[in-house]
Amino acid sequence: MKYDIIDSLVTPNGDLKILSKIEINKLLDTSQGGLYTLFRNCSLAVLNYSSYLDDGKELLEQYKSFDIQIIQENRGIKLDLKGAPASAFVDGKMITGIREHLFAVLRDVIYNNNEINGSSKFDLKSSEGMTNAVFHILRNAGILHSIKHPHLVVCWGGHAIQRNEYDYSKDVGYQMGLRSMDICTGCGVGAMKGPMKGATIGHAKQRIYDGLYLGITEPGIIAAEAPNPIVNNLVILPDIEKRLEAFVRLGHAIVIFPGGVGTVEEILFLLGILVDPRNADIPFPLILTGPKHTENYFKRIDHFISETLGIEAQQRYKIIIDDPERVACEIRDGIEQVHLFRKSTEDAFYFNWLLTIDKAYQKPFKPTHENMQDILLHKGQEPHLMAANLRCIFSGVVAGNVKDEGIRAIEEHGPFKIHGDPAIMEQIDLLLSEFVEQKRMRLPGKKYTPCYRIIK
């Protein structure tokens, strides 16, 4: 199939207008230690915003000829694009929002490499050091300045959802927008776009002109969840763990819509933190919601949590079915409790410093066949540690489904092998089997081939 492409010279939109020679050389370095591949692939993803691909490998193969080079001039830099997706342009000019996202990629790739990974400023072997790194990435992106009051709602859910599920997420976003809440998502389509779209209408009706529609992503997932057009602030974290920590440190409440394995990974990450005894007294509103037909979907999620993490985890969330207004009101009331708690403890509104996140959730998990097989899943683990191990299982399945590196590993070595306590394996098998049956693993119309094999 032929895809329309275009060549273009693009000037910066934002503060990043000059780079050092060392920074440019790193960005154009195609060696294993260089940044070119990372910079190119993330740039291609934001340029391809209108696509409904959920496969990072497929995107890269569609635009094999795409190239991006940096031109240093006396007054700043320009990006020279060859073979870029034509949908990112109108009348030969790049769409403004996409140009902003493109230079957000440039900003974060440089900062993450120079100041986080390539610096001694942060002790990335300690929990405190990793949290500090997340804080500095968000501050460098200018996000923390935008959060002056507690009203940022993180919305999670799948990109491969049914139309009525998308419409429902939009209705919830509208109700939250009417109540002056800002929206943060994984920045893609589906349940990540719907709440933002609804909130824009709610904000417009309330004459709110500075609404925040924040998209948070990471290099491995951005091709499958390219930023949707509504995102007006984009941040790329170095890995999935720092991305998830950014969500829970920034958000004042979380609403979860129907999704697949990526959504379950997010649920396990958050619940594992909330059931940690050190966080028992910290308010954190959490609602799982969807239209009427998703009632059984959430019952299955709820049952899975009950069988693996126990009743304590179930008590940290509410399930609300087919009632957008009630969801918004519950979130509003929950955020008021967060507001009062932050004031009484003198914790910041823009970053949840008091929340304890165990190192098990912060250490980057690389979903190789060996690492997947080594995950310990057995009865008797503390709930917050069980959640951490389960989270890694679902993270691996996400990688095998949509991430370029994971897809290639499955093609070369076969499916990941998952094993552990038979009762836990049965629950994982039931949940994943239902997701496959409901076509929640990939976009409708594609036959799903499992990237995993459960050893009972």
Q: Name which of 343, 313, 318 is nearest 331 in CA terms.
A: 318
* pLDDT value of residue 3: 64
* pLDDT value of residue 55: 52
- Among 69, 85, 118, which residue terminates a domain? 118
* pLDDT value of residue 52: 53
* Helical (H) or strand (E) element with 9: strand 5-10
How many domains does the chain divide into?
2
Its domain, for residue 78, covers 5-118
Same domain, 212 and 358: yes
What average pLDDT does the segment 204-211 reach?
Answer: 96
What average pLDDT does the segment 219-245 reach?
Answer: 91
Distance of CA 349 to CAs 61, 246, 393, 440, Å?
43, 14, 33, 35
What is the pLDDT confidence band of residue 80, given thresholds at 50, 70 and 90? very high
What average pLDDT does the segment 147-155 reach?
Answer: 93
Q: Does 403 score more than 70 pLDDT?
A: yes
CATH number at residue 258: 3.40.50.450
Q: Does 54 score more than 60 pLDDT?
A: no
Same domain, 312 and 378: yes
- Among 118, 143, 170, which residue terminates a domain? 118
Same domain, 153 and 110: no
What is the pLDDT confidence band of residue 137, given thresholds at 50, 70 and 90? very high
Q: What is the pLDDT of residues 333-379, one digit of tens each?
A: 999 999 999 999 999 999 999 999 999 999 999 999 999 999 988 88
More confident residue, 115 or 279: 279
Contacts of residue 219, Cβ cutoff 8 Å, sequence gap at least 6 = 38, 41, 42, 236, 238, 239
Same domain, 14 and 26: yes
What average pLDDT does the segment 22-51 reach?
Answer: 81
Same domain, 105 and 254: no
Q: What is the pLDDT of the chain when averaged over all its residues? A: 90
CATH number at residue 61: 3.30.1850.10
CA dihedral 245→247→252→257, nearest 10 degrees, is: -130
Per the rule left: phi > 0, alpha: psi between -120 and 50, beta: everything else, 196 is: alpha
- Length of the chain (residues): 456
* pLDDT value of residue 74: 67
Same domain, 423 and 286: yes
- Among 118, 133, 163, which residue terminates a domain? 118
Q: What is the pLDDT of residues 190-207, one digit of tens each?
A: 999 999 999 999 999 999
Contacts of residue 173, Cβ cutoff 8 Å, sequence gap at least 6 = 155, 183, 194, 195, 196, 197, 198, 199, 202
- Going through 208-300 in order, the beta strands assigned E by DSSP cover 213-217, 233-236, 253-256, 286-290
């970053």: which residue's tokens?
351
Same domain, 67 and 198: no
Distance of CA 182 to CAs 158, 175, 201, 217, Å?
20, 11, 12, 17
* pLDDT value of residue 59: 64
* pLDDT value of residue 380: 84
Same domain, 295 and 267: yes
Percent of the chain topping pLDDT 70:
93
* pLDDT value of residue 235: 96
User: 118 is written with which tokens?
Assistant: 């390539």
pTM of the model: 0.91
* pLDDT value of residue 1: 47
What is the pLDDT confidence band of residue 13, given thresholds at 50, 70 and 90? low
Same domain, 97 and 140: no
More confident residue, 63 or 429: 429
260: number of Cβ within 10 Å: 26
Q: What is the pLDDT of residues 305-329, one digit of tens each?
A: 999 999 999 999 999 999 999 999 9
346: number of Cβ within 10 Å: 8
Same domain, 44 and 168: no
Q: Does 441 score more than 80 pLDDT?
A: no
DSSP string, 80-109: EEEEEEGGGEETTEE-HHHHHHHHHHHHHH
| Alpha helix (H) residue ranges in 112-180 | 127-140, 163-178
What average pLDDT does the segment 219-246 reach?
Answer: 91
Q: Which of 53-57, 100-104, 135-139 has the highest mean pLDDT?
A: 135-139
3-state secondary structure of 54: coil
Same domain, 34 and 79: yes
Same domain, 272 and 298: yes
